[in-house]
Amino acid sequence: MQDKAGVDYKASDAELISLVRKTKEEIEAHGELNELNLLLLDFARELLKQRLLIRVEFVRMIELVRPD
């Protein structure tokens, strides 16, 4: 699935987490915060956050529909 900007959202959560970790390690190893690494880090974090919020909303909907 791709959005209007052409971003592929098929990357797994594990791949995104790995990307965040590697990017943070790269930033820490070189002691510099270059713009590309910061953008990559922010993008991966935001995508993970969006996925988590979608899952939370899904669980809430299921709990509302579930009979007691």
The per-residue pLDDT for range 6-65, each reduced to its tens digit, is 555 677 878 878 888 887 787 778 776 677 778 888 888 888 898 889 989 999 998 888
Question: pTM to 2 decimals?
Answer: 0.59
**Cα 54 from chain centre:** 12
How many angstroms separate the Cα of 29 from the Cα of each of 32, 38, 48? 8, 14, 24
Per-residue pLDDT at 43? 84
Per-residue pLDDT at 57? 92
How many angstroms separate the Cα of 67 from the Cα of each of 14, 49, 54, 62? 34, 29, 22, 10
For residues 26 and 38, what is the distance between their CA atoms, to the nearest angstrom? Answer: 10
Per-residue pLDDT at 60? 92
